[in-house]
């Protein structure tokens, strides 16, 4: 199985801040990496697929980059609705695995 790690596990930020979350895979996974936003009691929402492709309907303040083992999710200007937990997920091989999550809360 591909093991996924994320850093930081949590962060506090203010509205308007630029936020960067990192995801690392235990094996090289090319660009087979997806990012999700998850709010309590809600369904997770895909933001980025294939490492850098913005999902239809998702704000352009979200962007993704990386390939191989190291990936980044960037929120260019944090908005109130962005406070949530963010997960990466590898889609390179079964069983699909998720990172442990990064919780973004209000400073």
Partner 1 sequence: QLQLQESGPGLVKPSETLSLTCTVSNDSIRRESYYWDWVRQPPGKGLEWIGSIYYTGSTFYNPSLKSRVTISIDTSKNQFSLKVNSVTAADTAVYYCARRVYGGDFFDYWGQGTLVTVSS
Where along the sequence are the contacts to partner 1 (CB under 8 A)?
32, 34, 36, 41-46, 49-50, 55, 87, 89, 91, 94-101
Minimum distance from residue 69 beta carbon to partner 1 (Å): 18
CB of 76 to partner 1, least distance (A): 22
Closest to partner 1 by CB, 80 vs 95, is 95
Q: Which is nearer to partner 1, 59 or 77 (CB)?
A: 59
Q: How far apart are CA 49 and CA 72, in angstroms?
A: 12
Distance in Å, CB of 91 to partner 1, minimum: 3
């Amino acid at each position: 199985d591909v093991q996924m790690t994320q850093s930081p596990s949590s962060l506090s930020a203010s509205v308007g801040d630029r936020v960067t979350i990192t995801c690392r895979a235990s094996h090289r996974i090319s660009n087979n990496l997806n990012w999700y936003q998850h709010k309590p009691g809600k369904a997770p929402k895909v933001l980025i697929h294939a490492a850098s492709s913005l999902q239809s309907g998702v704000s352009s303040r979200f962007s993704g980059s990386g390939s191989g083992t190291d990936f980044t999710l960037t929120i260019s200007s944090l908005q109130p609705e962005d406070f949530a937990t963010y997960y990466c997920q590898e889609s390179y091989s079964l069983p699909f695995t998720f990172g442990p999550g990064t919780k973004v809360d209000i400073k």
